[in-house]
């Protein structure tokens, strides 16, 4: 009930020199060299990884040229003004369509994420009609990377956050969010804690991993091939494994979401 | 079209020793000492301030005991299960009610923000029935603070971000967001920029100031009286004053928001 991720002072840096990632690559091993070259890891570091290279390594790529759009994809593509083959790929990743208007297709993915185009993306893939899908289980991806990097961090504690950039209602501009988390709480939970005057806090759970993901975006940028960053200075109760629930903890129960339908 | 706020390496620290802020206080002057004691400011620093102390200094406080709920407030209070006097205060801050269900009242404020309870808050105020309102014009608040702190930062460039913690659709947990920004772009705009393979980026504007606000939350915490933080390492084109539009730039045009109504 009172997991917290906190810091007095944070440092965050981008890790360069990652190079191209190919399908089937052992991503943790591939990134270990760049992480070491950028100063290595210490206990309580958090590594931030953009999902794009995770998806590539996991072979979550589709060649649009090989896609045959279904009648449903053809109809929806007309509604939103997208390539029907792309919409076919999006629908295959989709549990439910949340909004479909010209220029915008928002869906709930099989992973439970609500985002534009089910996270299917053409950019930073390289070549022809290739698109990337989100990792099939981003929390599992984060756990695998963490396992591979634990030796670099003296055995941990070590956090890993896999990110994507999402738009959101009400506010313009995308923000980096956490779609996979391992080794640390995704959320800081202050429920039941009172302010110095005895009042319960109005916002009492904080999506800490989303704030960490956003910090990572500030150093990684969008176009310059830096898909990796390290944050140093955070701490958490690493013995409280119940709090380490993955980024799935950040997904609101659809039944309690007054904006989804 | 291509404003960017970027960094290779960031440092962020909380500033303590702020003490109590009273209505009418010259907040920039009040916080100058703590900022100096925490290492001072340099050009391109960004100071993050939680709106709560801004609201207090600006006298944006209401004593619930003096509030007479209107019939509309009484009805709505029944719908959402809140104190009718609090709902009366919320409605006075509200342009339009966005959602009202048991336990949740989301409105669009006169400032154009969409958030729970119009940002009216009981916590961290101190005493009796006092509640805080959001600053009347948080961008103007940020500009005033920046003006007061420019000498500490060698004349600037200097960014100021005034924050609040907002819930959001689809995802659990609050995140700190920027409700006032001065001296820097609130958004990084990569529209028209292509990835290394020639594709336009899927998410091409980034709410940089929201990501900065989130980073600040990680060091400020919610309950320990640290309403101030500094981020060092960001840079932006300070000559491009057209990009310095304030946090109002982060508000989506309601006509283009498929989730608001």
Strand partners, B159: B46
Is the pLDDT assigned to residue B156 strictly greater than 50? yes
Instruction: Name chain B contacts of A211, Cβ cutoff 8 Å.
Output: 175-176, 214-215, 217-218
Strand ranges (E), chain B: 9-14, 45-50, 61-63, 94-101, 104-109, 114-116, 130-132, 158-166, 175-182, 188-189, 205-206, 228-232
| Of the partner residues B168, B219, B234, the one whose CB lies closest to the CB of residue A10 | B219
pLDDT at residue B124 tops 90: no
| Mean pLDDT, residues A21-41 taken together | 96
Mean pLDDT for the stretch of residues B190-204: 64
Domains assigned to chain A: 11-60+135-254 (3.30.1330.100), 61-131 (3.90.1660.10)
Calpha distance B107→A148 (Å, rounded): 46
pLDDT exceeding 90 applies to what percent of chain B? 82
Residue B65 has pLDDT above 60, yes or no: yes
Average per-residue pLDDT in chain B?
92
Burial class (CB in 10 A: 0-12, 13-18, 19+), B253: exposed
Do the Cβ atoms of A218 and B171 come within 8 Å? no
What pLDDT score was predicted for residue B36?
97
Q: Which two tokens stand for residue A213?
A: 């993901």
DSSP reduced 3-state for A177: strand
Whether residue B208 has pLDDT greater than 50: yes
Pairing state between β B45-50 and B158-166: parallel
More confidently predicted of B195 and B36: B36
Question: What average pLDDT does this structure show over A245-250?
Answer: 94
Give the residue-averaged pLDDT of B64-84: 96
Q: Which two tokens stand for residue A250?
A: 């950040």
The average pLDDT across A28-41 equals: 97
CB A3 within 8 A of CB A236: yes
Compute the average pLDDT of residues B82-88. Answer: 96
Per-residue confidence (pLDDT) for residue A128, from 0 to 100: 72
Q: What local confidence, expressed as pLDDT, does residue B57 receive?
A: 97
B residues 88..107 contacting A (CB < 8 A)? 99, 101, 104, 106
For the sheet with A104-109, list strands across it. Answer: A94-101, A104-109, A114-116
Residue A249 phi/psi, 5° resolution? -60, -20
ipTM of the complex model: 0.94
**Average pLDDT of the residues of chain A:** 92
Q: Is A35 in a helix, a strand, or coil?
A: helix
pLDDT at B200 exceeding the cut of 60 = no
* Mean pLDDT for the stretch of residues A76-94: 97
**Which residue in chain B has the smallest CA separation from A170?**
B252
pLDDT band at A195 (very low <50, low <70, confident <90, very high): low
Inform me whether the C-beta atom of residue A250 falls under 8 Å from chain B C-beta atoms. yes
pLDDT, residue B228, reads 96
Check if the beta carbon of residue B77 is closer than 8 Å to that of residue B120: no
Bridge partners of B228, per DSSP, are B49
Containing A174, the helix (H) or strand (E) segment is: none
Given a cut of 90, whether residue A189 has pLDDT beyond it is: no
3-state secondary structure of A41: coil
pLDDT grade for B1, boundaries at 50, 70 and 90 = very low
B163, B207, B220, B254: best mutation site toward chain A, by most A Cβ within 10 Å? B207
Q: Which candidate, B221, B31, B217, B84, places its Cα nearest to that of A196?
A: B221
């Amino acid at each position: 009930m009172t997991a917290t991720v906190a810091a007095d002072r944070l440092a965050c840096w981008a890790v360069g020199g990652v190079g191209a990632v190919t399908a089937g690559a052992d991503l943790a091993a591939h990134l270990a060299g760049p992480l070491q070259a950028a100063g290595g890891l210490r206990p309580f570091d958090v590594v931030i990884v953009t999902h794009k290279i995770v998806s590539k390594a996991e072979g979550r790529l589709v060649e649009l040229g090989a896609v045959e759009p279904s009648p449903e994809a053809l109809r929806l593509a007309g509604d939103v003004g997208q390539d029907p083959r792309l919409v076919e790929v999006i629908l295959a990743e989709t549990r439910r369509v949340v909004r479909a208007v010209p220029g915008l297709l928002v869906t709930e993915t099989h992973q439970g994420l609500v985002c534009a185009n089910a996270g299917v993306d053409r950019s930073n893939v390289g070549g022809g009609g290739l698109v990337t899908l989100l990792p099939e289980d981003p929390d599992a991806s984060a756990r695998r990377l963490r396992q591979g990097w634990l030796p670099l961090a003296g055995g941990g504690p070590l956090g890993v956050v896999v990110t994507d950039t999402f738009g959101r209602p009400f506010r313009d501009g995308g923000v980096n969010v956490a779609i996979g988390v391992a080794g640390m709480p995704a959320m800081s939970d202050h429920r039941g804690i009172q302010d110095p005057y005895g009042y319960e806090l109005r916002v009492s759970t904080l999506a800490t991993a989303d704030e960490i993901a956003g910090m990572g975006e500030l150093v990684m940028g969008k176009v310059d091939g830096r898909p990796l960053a390290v944050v140093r200075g955070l701490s958490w109760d690493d013995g409280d494994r119940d709090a380490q629930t993955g980024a799935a903890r950040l997904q609101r129960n659809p039944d309690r979401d007054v904006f989804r339908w």
